[in-house]
A = this chain, B = another copy of it.
């Protein structure tokens, strides 16, 4: 890690590996969200509460695993707002280099869409644009809160040298946020886009995407603001925020 501070570019896996990890990780995250949503919808028809319980438990567990699985490769962002925040606050240190930001975001968006399609193949559900409108005022406040909390959590743990608990903490956070936000906590622009391509439990209508993403960006900014209130020296230790990236 000493070396990482001096010449971070030497301690990262090749960009192609990292981008592949963001593609596969975001993809499988969406597969977990959409797939478990379809399973819940089929098995607990008519019981919306039980469906969300099943969907939220599966997502929380799956997210922990995916961060553990791919964190050392790419940092396991799986989320454009995390990559953007990492770049923003780590620009003078070992945050995500600006030249890597575009590839990360494209991989997350493309991977997410692939993840929706994979869930559809497994559950014999044809791809279709979602008809579930979600962009009410309360839901948008929910997305602001959910994303602010997520960004604050990830960088607070990085800032205080506790990234070894980030995987479990992020899983627990999303598991709770499914319930305490009215929007069921998308908190992720790539996942939001990907979830438009399925007209099942976890879908979101295309018309709701732009307001959701805007709310998520506002939430990310709020989360970074709170980070500087609570952990004012964060910028010096930014980088590798979800899981420390190690050279292979």
Contact check, B179 vs A54: say whether CB atoms are below 8 A apart.
yes
Interface presence of A210 (CB below 8 A):
no
CB closest chain-B residue, reference A123 = B182
User: If A173-B61, A246-B160 touch, does A180 touch B230 (CB 8 Å cutoff)?
Assistant: no
Interface presence of A10 (CB below 8 A):
no
Tell me the number of copies of this protein: 4
Interface presence of A102 (CB below 8 A):
no
Interface presence of A58 (CB below 8 A):
yes
Contact check, A21 vs B230: say whether CB atoms are below 8 A apart.
yes
| A132-175 contacts to B (CB < 8 Å) | 136-139, 141-142, 145, 149, 152-153, 156-157, 160, 162, 165, 169, 171-173, 175
Interface presence of A238 (CB below 8 A):
no
User: In the complex, A59 Cα to B177 Cα: how many Å?
Assistant: 10
User: In the complex, A53 Cα to B248 Cα: how many Å?
Assistant: 38
User: In the complex, A137 Cα to B35 Cα: how many Å?
Assistant: 15
Contact check, A160 vs B72: say whether CB atoms are below 8 A apart.
yes
Contact check, A138 vs B156: say whether CB atoms are below 8 A apart.
no
Interface presence of A194 (CB below 8 A):
no
Binary B-proximity of A27-59 (CB < 8 A = 1, otherwise 0): 010011001100110011001111111110111
The 7 nearest A-B residue pairs measured at CB: A44-B49, A43-B49, A62-B176, A36-B179, A35-B180, A58-B179, A61-B176
Can you pick out 24 interface pairs between chain A and chain B where the beta carbons lie within 8 Å of each other? Answer: A24-B226, A28-B149, A32-B179, A32-B180, A35-B179, A35-B181, A36-B176, A36-B179, A36-B180, A58-B178, A60-B61, A61-B175, A65-B173, A68-B156, A68-B162, A69-B152, A70-B230, A72-B156, A119-B180, A121-B138, A122-B141, A122-B182, A124-B136, A124-B137
Chain A positions within 8 Å of B, measured between CB atoms, are: 17, 20-21, 24, 28, 31-32, 35-36, 39-40, 43-44, 47-55, 57-62, 64-65, 68-70, 72-73, 118-119, 121-124, 136-139, 141-142, 145, 149, 152-153, 156-157, 160, 162, 165, 169, 171-173, 175-183, 226, 229-233, 246, 248
Not counting A21-B230, A47-B49, a sample of 4 additional A-B residue pairs whose C-beta atoms are within 8 angstroms of each other reads A40-B179, A57-B179, A60-B61, A70-B230
